[in-house]
Amino acid sequence: MPSYKIGQAADLLGVSADTMRRWVDGGRLPALRTDGGQRLIDGVELARFATEVVEERDPDVIVARSARNRFPGIVTRVVKDTVMAQVEIQAGPHRVVSLMSREAADELRLAPGVMAVAAVKSTNVVVEIAAD
């Protein structure tokens, strides 16, 4: 199983390396030290912890949902015409773009700087693996 450096794990969870270090130092996430003193986090442990952190971050406003892929972030751009709106959200390292009615964007008061959650439900998901 792969292991991850603090910075890599932080990028995957969309937090700072300092936050990741605090979680490791506080005992929330186990890590091993290399001979050189670098901390490595086991991939299985990181995956388990990632699901815990997402559950902690989820707002309790919603009673139930069918979309499991949720990307909390900040709106960075909104382009509207008379009928449609294009909304861009930066969610950690991910840029999510949504097309919706202008009416919906207006009702949600979407504008740059607004915190929002992109909930994605799709029957087609492409999975990629980085080259070694």
The CATH number of whichever domain residue 74 belongs to comes to: 2.40.50.100
Task: Examine the domain organization and report whether 18 and 53 are in the same domain.
Answer: yes
Q: Which residue has the higher pLDDT, 22 or 66?
A: 22
Of 57, 79, 96, the domain-final residue: 57
Note whether 20 and 11 are within 8 A (CB). Answer: no
Over residues 31-55, mean pLDDT: 85
Task: Examine the domain organization and report whether 9 and 36 are in the same domain.
Answer: yes
Number of domains in the chain: 2
Residue 49 lies in a domain: yes
Over residues 37-54, mean pLDDT: 85
**CA atoms of 87 and 96, how far apart (whole Å):** 8
Q: What is the pLDDT of residues 66-96, one digit of tens each?
A: 667 888 888 889 999 999 999 999 888 888 8
Q: Give the tokens for residue 91.
A: 């969610």
Structural domain harbouring 34:
3-57
Q: Which residue has the higher pLDDT, 54 or 118?
A: 118
Task: Examine the domain organization and report whether 32 and 75 are in the same domain.
Answer: no
pLDDT band at 39 (very low <50, low <70, confident <90, very high): very high
pTM of the predicted model over 0.75:
no
Compute φ and ψ for 112, nearest 5 degrees. -55, 135
Task: Examine the domain organization and report whether 15 and 42 are in the same domain.
Answer: yes
CA-to-CA dists, residue 15 to 53, 66, 78, 115, angstroms? 11, 26, 25, 16
Task: Examine the domain organization and report whether 11 and 51 are in the same domain.
Answer: yes
Residue 46 lies in a domain: yes
3-state helix, strand, coil in the chain (%, to 5): 30, 35, 40
- What pLDDT does residue 61 have? 56
Residue 106 lies in a domain: yes
Q: What is the mean pLDDT of the chain?
A: 84
Residue 128 lies in a domain: no
